[in-house]
Structure 1
């Protein structure tokens, strides 16, 4: 067993222990962090490994969330079918958005994804009679079951979040270790040279956009089922900024960076808000220090300073 796989297995084992040993409040927070880390993993594949700076990933998260939530409340879908619809909806929307946005590059790509995200958010608000707009809606506890497995129960919520996180983590590790992952990095580092070697930048980037959207959609559907809430705020532009910050904090282009970044920012915000109403200033100051002294994020800095085997 190589070191990278061993470290990933240890991380999953520690998270599993946390679900059983932590108080309910922190175990619930841990489940939330793991679901959000899946969202960040998908973003990391697009941004950290491929260099696609998107500001529209909230619409893929919201697509999965609303596909699951509306499917259950309006169509009578089972929880299992609702969860399956999440990654499908996220991937489909990401492929459609990518087909448009990837005709541009750099700052233009960022602006196009931003505009598409805003269009998605306004669409949710426009159909407020169905989506309930900014107010959102709550999924009944009776709907949040897969057979006898109650996803609203504290322990079951944590176990499901762990399963989703572990699946996303090891799939991400497999992707970046495979030939496809090396192509992504080559696109990020030198797109022209990659094209000369026979790789089609549009096809490769569209593929990673689809995968990234599937991750986001799966996280959105899981969030709706595990925590019982669906709302337009999850499709707002501000929510698109969060995975970027999580990835930058933990380490862009590292498989464990999304988890580390999501966890640190979650608790930094939680702790700061208990002391001051200006908690966003504290978070901003911490990010400023990070950019100045560890521009590649925490795990990126560790990889530069000796742990070069970190994927």
Structure 2
């Protein structure tokens, strides 16, 4: 009950702060909430199931391109779920092959799939826009009567998607299947001896992770009006890993706080120096040395055991 109240309080706080946020931060926080959904998906695979992937940009891009291309001939209300399903379907297809490996081999195989997807986007430039991508028209970004090019509707839609994703994630990790995922992360062989199928469990977890990633990619395309190959590049597979590590792997709220902190760390440091990546690197180094389990992971370890 305490955990549910905390998560609802965060959603309520994000709803309340929209009244006082200046336009610049209005857009930024909306962007962070969408990217936090992406990080939640990565956390399902890595933080809870122990699957270290470097291919999640493929799932994010699948959702983004499926929705971005679909809105040319279908309303956004249909294009959004299409992008969600595209992310899940891509993760399922990759999982059926990649999960035959484990550890470093799994990481390399997922990276190869992601790079193949990135090169495919570049190759089919006449359809995908290639390296330049394409911009979505304002009319195509109308979702159930809401103009997602406007600050207010965009923020509230991002909050709605984030809120549903957050509460669904909380329900997942507290369910029986969520406990099985953690068991696979901690001791796969013992879980197998208890009768659980590691391949099936990991495949479901990776598919759910792809569903979250595809949702974030689809929402990003509609809310910010741009679809580009850069979102399928390797950095968009590394970023969710960093967000999760910073906020706390294996915690429900960790991805949001990790994405929020890193976004503003880059934003603020870039206003005073050209070496913003150095600032981020130092921050991550400090984290590894003094809070290796991330912000919320460390808080949970030092007293708040009830944090999911």
TM range (shorter): over 0.9
Question: Which residue in 1 is equivalent to 2:280?
Answer: 283
CA deviations 1:79-138 (Å, max 9, x no partner) are: 111111111000000000011110000000000001111001000001011111110110
C-alpha distance in 1, partners of 2:173/2:144? Answer: 35
CA deviations 1:22-72 (Å, max 9, x no partner) are: 011101100000000000000000000000000000010000000000111
Structure 1 moving runs of 4+ over 6 Å: none
CA deviations 1:210-231 (Å, max 9, x no partner) are: 1000000000000000000000
Question: Which residue in 1 is equivalent to 2:102?
Answer: 105
- Asked whether 1:7 is paired with 2:6, we answer yes
The answer to whether the 8 A contact 1:251-1:296 is kept is: yes
The answer to whether the 8 A contact 1:44-1:252 is kept is: yes
2:106 match: secondary structure = helix
Question: Which residue in 1 is equivalent to 2:50?
Answer: 51
Question: Which residue in 1 is equivalent to 2:135?
Answer: 138
Q: Which of 256, 259, 279 in structure 2 is aligned with 1:259?
A: 256
Q: How does 1:136-285 map to 2 (within 5 A)?
A: 136-285=133-282
Q: How does 1:89-104 map to 2 (within 5 A)?
A: 89-104=86-101
C-alpha distance in 2, partners of 1:159/1:215? Answer: 18
C-alpha distance in 1, partners of 2:17/2:214? Answer: 25
Alpha-carbon offset, residue 19 of structure 1:
2.0
C-alpha distance in 1, partners of 2:235/2:130? Answer: 16
Alpha-carbon offset, residue 151 of structure 1:
1.3
The answer to whether the 8 A contact 1:92-1:210 is kept is: yes
C-alpha distance in 2, partners of 1:148/1:253? Answer: 37
Alpha-carbon offset, residue 147 of structure 1:
3.6
1:147/1:7 Cα in 2 relative to 1: closer, same or farther (>3 Å)? Answer: closer
Q: Which runs of 5+ in 2 are unaligned?
A: none
TM-score normalised per structure 1: 0.98
C-alpha distance in 1, partners of 2:95/2:234? Answer: 17
C-alpha distance in 1, partners of 2:294/2:145? Answer: 42
- Asked whether 1:128 is paired with 2:92, we answer no
Alpha-carbon offset, residue 20 of structure 1:
2.5
Q: Which runs of 5+ in 1 are unaligned?
A: none
C-alpha distance in 1, partners of 2:140/2:104? Answer: 43
TM-score normalised per structure 2: 0.99
C-alpha distance in 2, partners of 1:167/1:19? Answer: 18
RMSD: 0.6
2:18 match: secondary structure = helix
Alpha-carbon offset, residue 153 of structure 1:
1.1
